Amino acid sequence: MPDHRGLAEYLIMAEESHHDVPCITDKIRDFTISMGYQVQDELIKIKKTQGHKMLAFKMGLTSPAKMKQMKINEPIYGTVFDYMKVPEQGMIIMDELIHPKVEAEIAFILEEDIEGPNVSGVEVLAKTKYVFPALEIIDSRYQNFKFQLPDVIADNTSAARVVFGNQLFNPKDFELDSIGVTLTINGEIKGIGTSSAVLGHPANAVAMLANMLYRHGKGKVPKGSIILSGGITEAILLNKGDDVTAKYDGIGDVNFFVK
Ligand code: OOG
Ligand code: MG
């Protein structure tokens, strides 16, 4: 059995020192998905004892663009912490990160609990209070941003920073599966997509989260939870000086700078 706690500390050390590390699967050939989630659980425990609070759940690898880019075709979940939040029009600090990339997502806030095993996108929509646009800044702790599925799960799905749009929207007012998104850096278009890329409808990613948590014996997704449904376009590498804006049809813009 691998030392789950030790591996979680290895990844937190990489995050805190802003230095990438070799993949776990390079060292432990038979490191499985289930072990990956056990390391993630330890990592979350350590973060909580450090005083960090959970801000949101995140789903990852939910769109063809992301699955193709990372060469992994299975969705995963992780946890976003309070210290990862950067205000809209705020600054992310390059020197605190390793090789960050940005991706445009749609986030949900639940009005009621959802609990697996058979949650559907329709149920999620009925139990969603608000949706809003969100940018996720992912930062793999692994060298060259390359990993196998169990590695990225252990690494809390590369979670690093989030920037939330300022306005909340009622999901009933939108066709949530046909929101066009344009990701622009320094005035140049870097990514274009439509929200249907996320499992046909981003609510399906939230349903999948509930069903996965249930399968893993982790209970429900409680009301009030924020859930990031996964990148719509492929993730774009960031550089110092970047001015990043995502424009979402009908639900506004999200912007931040890289210092
Ligand atoms: C894993 C995290 C993916 C998403 O939205 O697809 C993710 C990675 O690509 O490093 O957050
Ligand atoms: Mg993401």
pLDDT tens figures, 175-223: 999 999 999 999 999 999 999 999 999 999 999 999 999 999 999 999 9
**Exposure on the CB side of residue 95, measured as CA atoms within 13 A:** 1
**Exposure on the CB side of residue 216, measured as CA atoms within 13 A:** 20
Ligand 1 binding pocket includes 36 (Cβ within 6 Å): no
- The beta strands (E) that lie in 126-166 are given as 128-138, 159-164
Instruction: Tell me, in angstroms, the distance from the centre of ligand 1 to residue 104's CA.
Output: 11
Instruction: Tell me, in angstroms, the distance from the centre of ligand 2 to residue 126's CA.
Output: 23
* Structure confidence by residue, pLDDT tens digits, 25-34: 999 999 999 9
Per-position DSSP letters for 190-239, written without gaps between them: EEEEEGGGTTTSHHHHHHHHHHHHHHTT---B-TT-EEE---SS--EE--
| Ligand at shortest distance from the CA of 101 | 1
Ligand 1 binding pocket includes 140 (Cβ within 6 Å): yes
Q: Is the pLDDT at 160 greater than 90, yes or no?
A: yes
Ligand 1 binding pocket includes 233 (Cβ within 6 Å): no
Burial class, 53, CB count within 10 angstroms (exposed 0-12 / middle 13-18 / buried 19+): exposed
- Amino acid 170 reads N
Q: Is 17 left (phi over 0), alpha (psi -120 to 50) or beta?
A: alpha
Q: Which helix (H) or strand (E) holds 28?
A: none
Ligand 1 binding pocket includes 229 (Cβ within 6 Å): no
| Ligand at shortest distance from the CA of 75 | 1
Ligand 1 binding pocket includes 230 (Cβ within 6 Å): yes
Mean pLDDT, residues 23-44 taken together: 97
Where b means 16+ CB within 10 Å and e means fewer, 92-102 reads bebeebbbbbb
Share of the chain above pLDDT 90, in %: 97
Per-residue confidence (pLDDT) for residue 1, from 0 to 100: 82
Ligand 1 binding pocket includes 191 (Cβ within 6 Å): no
Instruction: Tell me, in angstroms, the distance from the centre of ligand 2 to residue 58's CA.
Output: 7
Is 114 in contact with 123 (CB distance < 8 Å)? yes
Is 231 in contact with 105 (CB distance < 8 Å)? yes
